[in-house]
Amino acid sequence: MIELIKKKTANAKDDILSGLTVALALVPEAVAFAFVAGVDPLVGLYAAFMIGLITAAFGGRPGMISGATGALAVVLVNLVKEGNEMGMAMAIPVENMGLNYLFATVILMGIIQISAGVFKLGKFVRLIPHPVMMGFVNGLAIVIFLSQLGMFKETIGGEKVWLQGSELYIMVALVALTMAIMYFLPKLTKKVPAALTGILVVSAIVIAGGLDVQTVGSFIRNGGGEGLKGGLPQLQWQLFEPGNGLYTWESFTFMLPYALILAAIGLIESLMTLNLIDDITETRGSSNRECIAQGSANIITGLFGGMGGCAMIGQSLININSGGRGRLSGIVAAVTLLCFILFASAYIEMVPIAALVGVMFMVVIGTFAWSSFRVIPKVPKSDAFVLILVSGLTVVFDLAIAVLAGVVVSALVFSWENAKRIRARKRLKNDGTKVYEIWGPLFFGSISDFNSKFDVKGDPQNVEIDFIESRVSDHSGIEAIISIVEKYEKVGKTVKLKHLSEECKVLLKKANYSYHLHAIIEDDIDDPRYHVVAHQKDFDNTAIEPAQ
């Protein structure tokens, strides 16, 4: 019992310290993504607080951090822009109508995500091939790295230009110092979080030395914000006012495509991050529970003035690497972020951006799958191509397009490879019957090769097609069998189908009523192998784990 209490206490300490570190890292990210979406920084900060709190408390992956993300912000910027244009075109023009469209779309996005969880669609993310996962991780690491390069610029005359001279040298030195602390401190002691220590040390140096560097406060003001200070999130009553322009068919058809894209991006990014953390922690989260929690969080953040969000791989890895494993770490991060907004904005605005950039650079190093350079020459060329393709598309477009393309290419490669495995061993019985023993899967990709195996005109009067080493996988395979039977019967020959699985026989008999297929399917076969294959599902069901 004493050991259990000590373990729980140690975990709580790690979660709290890790949560504080993550809260600091959330501030510039949430602010930056709000600027990308074209909304006030508080819209991004409120989203980070509400989504982070709800998913940490009720989500399917303890230790995973959620908040406002760049993947969603890129889509939201067009939504806000078009929404503002629609608002000004109304009979009574409405300013900032894009913000109302944003909140309503985020609510609709949440409803879609909850539906995905209720119908247990989250488990399908586990079908994503490993090369796609590696490509996703590498691409995301590159995106995080590129996003941090913007911190090495300053605004002069309304334009972003690279830092030069002493400003650049100081920035690089502070970033390097933060990274050095994060790298070497864990080698000396693991009792204090390296990321938080790095942020505090660099902040102390900047404040004590009076260094003129970019801070969180200057970053917000340079982006057009007035500062970090704000109040509690307020319910957006204007969403419920009659005649606000949101409850028309035109508005619904405008918001629905955006909501579907946002829901897909949010779920894919969150569930793939969940899988990544599963691998790191050697535990298993619940994908469907995460869908429901994330959808609920987006509904609430839309109602209370947030921009929506999903899992954040960078902050999640900071949390995991800092020792945060439980729900407490995410809750502490969210509550601390709100406290920053309410009470400690002046102090948080003093944190140098260089310290946060150093933390994110270490996340990039830890995120990138460096083993992929070693793996690429050894894996099949198709897998290497998918890995590189997903990495590139993640950088050029977005995560949803990259993952979808990777899955489609992997599926096509798999289908092509399996299509080439269909074989037909031919032999004659003593009574002159020709037997075709079919080997390999029969599905849409292999039906062409399957049909080419038969010599309808040259075969004897009696033909047997034996499926003992084959499995009919889809409707295309069923139609191929029916088609070959029709061809033989048209020339007056007899066909027998042997060793079909029970599911295949049922589908065959349902698929075509004009032929008495039950008469040509042999059911009474004394072959132990056949009975194992035919009733394999009875064995498979015992090994299936409950859906998450």
Q: Rounded to whole angstroms, how far apart are CA atoms 59 and 53?
A: 10
Average pLDDT, the chain: 81
Structure token digits, residue 443: 């599905």
**Region of poorest pLDDT, from 57-66, 109-118, 321-330, 415-424:** 415-424
> Considering only CA atoms, which of 237, 245, 273 is closest in space to residue 59?
273
Closest CA to 348 of 218, 249, 456: 218
Stretch among 27-36, 253-262, 355-364 having the lowest mean pLDDT: 27-36
pLDDT of residue 58: 93
In a domain, 416, yes or no: no
Q: Is the pLDDT of residue 543 over 60?
A: no
pLDDT at 2: 44
Q: What is the dihedral of CA 437, 439, 443, 448, to 10 degrees?
A: -70
Q: In this structure, are strands 494-498 and 462-472 parallel, antiparallel, or unpaired?
A: parallel
- Using DSSP, how many helices (H) and how many strands (E) does the chain show? 22, 8
Are 385 and 442 members of one domain? no
The reported pLDDT for the residue numbered 103 is: 92
Q: Is residue 469 part of a domain?
A: yes
Q: What is the pLDDT of residues 119-129, one digit of tens each?
A: 888 777 667 78
Whole-number pLDDT of residue 532: 44
**Average pLDDT estimate for 364-381:** 83
400 and 428 part of one domain? no
Domain that holds residue 437: 421-543
445 belongs to a structural domain: yes
Q: Cα angle at 388 between 376 and 381, to 5 degrees?
A: 45
* Paired tokens of 177: 């110092």
Residue 100, domain member (yes or no) = yes
Same domain (yes/no): 399, 438:
no
Nearest Cα neighbor of 473 from 484, 465, 485, 481 is: 481
- Model pLDDT for residues 169-202, shown as the tens digit of each residue: 999 999 999 999 988 988 887 767 677 788 889 9
**Rounded to a whole number, what is the largest CA-CA distance in the chain?**
100
Considering the domain boundaries, does residue 415 fall inside one?
no
What is the distance, to the nearest Å, from the Cα of residue 166 to the centroid of all Cα atoms in its chain?
Answer: 41
Residues 341, 243 within the same domain: yes
CA distances from 421 to 381, 441, 453 (A): 19, 7, 13
pTM: predicted TM-score of the whole model, two decimal places: 0.67
Nearest by Cα to 202 from 192, 191, 215: 215
Single residue among 410, 438, 459 that ends a domain in this structure: 410
For the segment 370-388, the average pLDDT, to the nearest whole number, is: 86
Average pLDDT in the 253-276 region?
Answer: 86
Q: Quick one: pLDDT at residue 525?
A: 57
19 and 329 Cβ atoms separated by less than 8 Å: yes
Residues 447 and 402 in one domain: no
Same domain, 490 and 513: yes
Question: At a CB cut-off of 8 Å and minimum separation 6, what does 5 contact?
Answer: none
247 found inside a domain: yes
Pairing of strands 434-442, 462-472: parallel
Q: Is 63 exposed, middle or buried (0-12, 13-18, 19+ CB in 10 A)?
A: buried
Q: What distance in Å separates the CA atoms of residue 61 and residue 290, rounded to the nearest whole number?
A: 7
Asked if 39 contacts 80 with a C-beta cutoff of 8 angstroms, the reply is: yes
Is 411's pLDDT higher than 60?
yes
**Angstrom distance (rounded) from CA 507 to CA 1:** 59
**457 DSSP 8-state letter:** T
391 with 478, same domain: the answer is no
- Is 528 inside any structural domain? yes
* Residue 503 banded pLDDT, cuts 50, 70, 90: confident
With beta carbons less than 8 A apart as the criterion, state whether 227 and 220 touch. Answer: yes
- Which residues pair with residue 469 across a beta bridge? 439
Kindly state the tokens that stand for 5: 């209490």
User: Using an 8 Å Cβ cutoff, are 213 and 174 in contact?
Assistant: yes
* 102/506: higher pLDDT: 102
Length of the chain measured in residues: 548
**Shared domain check, 352 and 425:** no
Question: At which residue do the structure tokens 């057009």 appear?
Answer: 224
Q: How confident is the model at residue 509 (pLDDT cuts 50, 70, 90)?
A: low
468-484 confidence digits (pLDDT tens) = 888 887 888 888 888 88
Checking if the pLDDT of 36 tops 70, the result is no
Tell me: do 469 and 325 sit in the same domain: no
Tell me, yes or no, whether 220 and 121 share the same domain. Answer: yes
Give the residue with greater pLDDT, 42 vs 488.
488
Which of 384, 410, 436 finishes a domain?
A: 410
Is the CB of residue 488 less than 8 Å from the CB of residue 463? Answer: yes
Of 357, 384, 410, the residue at which a domain comes to its end is 410
DSSP label of 352: B
Check pLDDT > 60 for residue 338.
yes
Please list the alpha-helical segments (H only) found in 38-129. Answer: 41-58, 70-88, 97-118
Using CA atoms, how far residue 536 sits from 12, 249, 532, 546, in Å, is 48, 50, 6, 19
Residue range 367-379: mean pLDDT, rounded? 84
- What Rg, from alpha-carbon coordinates, does the chain have? 30
Query: Per the structure block, which two tokens stand in for 13?
Result: 């300490």
**Which range (161-165, 197-201, 542-546) has the least confidence?**
542-546
* pLDDT tens-digit readout, 38-75: 677 788 889 999 999 999 999 988 989 998 887 787 77
Q: What number is the average pLDDT over the span 298-325?
A: 87
**Residue 429's CATH number:** 3.30.750.24
Compute the average pLDDT of residues 153-180.
86
Confidence of residue 225 (pLDDT cuts 50, 70, 90): low
Q: Is 544 exposed, middle or buried (0-12, 13-18, 19+ CB in 10 A)?
A: exposed
- Check pLDDT > 90 for residue 356: no
* pLDDT at position 223: 65
- Answer yes or no: do 276 and 369 share one domain: yes
How many domains is the chain built from? 2
pLDDT at position 176: 94
Residue 76 lies in a domain: yes
241 pLDDT band (50/70/90 cuts)? confident
Same domain for 358 and 465: no
For the record, the structure tokens of 290 come out as: 């995460």
